[in-house]
Amino acid sequence: GNSVTQMEGPVTLSEEAFLTINCTYTATGYPSLFWYVQYPGEGLQLLLKATKADDKGSNKGFEATYRKETTSFHLEKGSVQVSDSAVYFCAIEDFGNEKLTFGTGTRLTIIP
Amino acid sequence: GAGVSQSPSNKVTEKGKDVELRCDPISGHTALYWYRQSLGQGLEFLIYFQGNSAPDKSGLPSDRFSAERTGGSVSTLTIQRTQQEDSAVYLCASKAFQETQYFGPGTRLLVL
């Protein structure tokens, strides 16, 4: 079945630092890829997605590119803010029933 | 419009008791998913509904877990004879055809 390997946390960065959270996957076919974010005390929210190879998903200054050749979907942001402190989950969607398989999550803390 | 809602938001129960968790999906969303988020297991898929039928129950951890969906809308996840390892946050998500999943706020279950 599908699986997602996500960069272990926690990650602590200073404000305005560059962020990368690595995510690689194994899957059959050509799944859609997602990053979800969970802010403190809130539910899971979709951050961005990409549905085919070389697509770039972007939102709130975050970006991730669907790399089929390396089976990766790394999350990046050029200048993080304190408000970006949250847990980030990489996920892959099954073809057919479209259930999501999640990575373990990466807790990000940004310090002023 | 209204998002996915779940009730109760918190549930404390004694070991051996039965619990029912409710999910109200976004109106018109035909697909509904239950996931569980726990410290030891991360985010894991439980069951998927398309309309009122459940073509994929592969994530239900034991026969103490069951779920139903009626009228293509509300879903109930039932856990019988709860155990301490059932303590987790139970998340519901719904989606329209070829769209992304939207998550509810979750029900935090604590089994004493």
What is the β-pairing status of strands B53-56 and B5-7? unpaired
- Touching check for B35 and chain A: CB below 8 Å? yes
Model confidence at A112: pLDDT above 90: yes
Q: Is A71 exposed, middle or buried (0-12, 13-18, 19+ CB in 10 A)?
A: middle
Task: Give the bridge partners for A105, in sequence order.
Answer: none
CB of B44 closer than 8 Å to CB of B98: no
pLDDT confidence bin for A50, thresholds 50/70/90 = very high
What is the β-pairing status of strands B10-13 and B107-111? parallel
CB of B15 closer than 8 Å to CB of B67: no
Model confidence at B26: pLDDT above 80: yes
| Closest Cβ opposite residue B103 in set A43, A49, A99 | A43
Quick one: residue B35, left, alpha or beta (phi over 0 = left, psi -120 to 50 = alpha)? beta
Average pLDDT across chain A, whole number: 93
CA distance B63 to B78: 10
Q: What is the pLDDT of residue B32?
A: 96
| Closest Cβ opposite residue A99 in set B42, B56, B106 | B56
More confident residue, B14 or A9: B14
